[in-house]
Amino acid sequence: MSTTLILILVIVLLCFSIFMARQIKRYKIKRVGTQVMAKVVEVHSWQEPTIKDYSIQSKPVPLVTGGWQYEVIAEWANPTNEQTYIFTSERKKGLPSSKKGDYLPAYISPKGNYLELL
């Protein structure tokens, strides 16, 4: 019993530390990075497969549907040296609020690049 509890605690702490490391990296990029306005060139969205409930129950249950997910790709060209930067967002749940041609804030830093979705 105690071994299982310790294992669960270690897994929870590992997940929390990974989450915090990603948040800290984004914070550092935004703090030291240069903010630019990147133009959205692609928006990919898809819906997870639908799962139907075929069990026999006295009361009908609505369909359990997979949610929508999306990813945004934007680019920015440095006017001084004409170097092009490509920014890719993380996979997000829901429907995209941005479309092709929109401008989103992005950060360029020696620690990495980050596209901020509004």
Give pLDDT, residue 65: 46
Q: Which structure tokens are listed for 43?
A: 């928006």
- Give the residue among 74, 67, 70 at the shortest CA–CA distance from 116: 74
Give pLDDT, residue 53: 56
Give pLDDT, residue 50: 61
- Give the residue among 98, 102, 96, 97 at the shortest CA–CA distance from 76: 102
Give pLDDT, residue 67: 83
Give pLDDT, residue 48: 75
Q: Which structure tokens are listed for 11?
A: 């897994």
Give pLDDT, residue 57: 54
- Give mean pLDDT in consecutive 10-residue pieces for the chain, a chain of 118 residues: 90 96 93 95 85 56 65 94 92 90 95 89
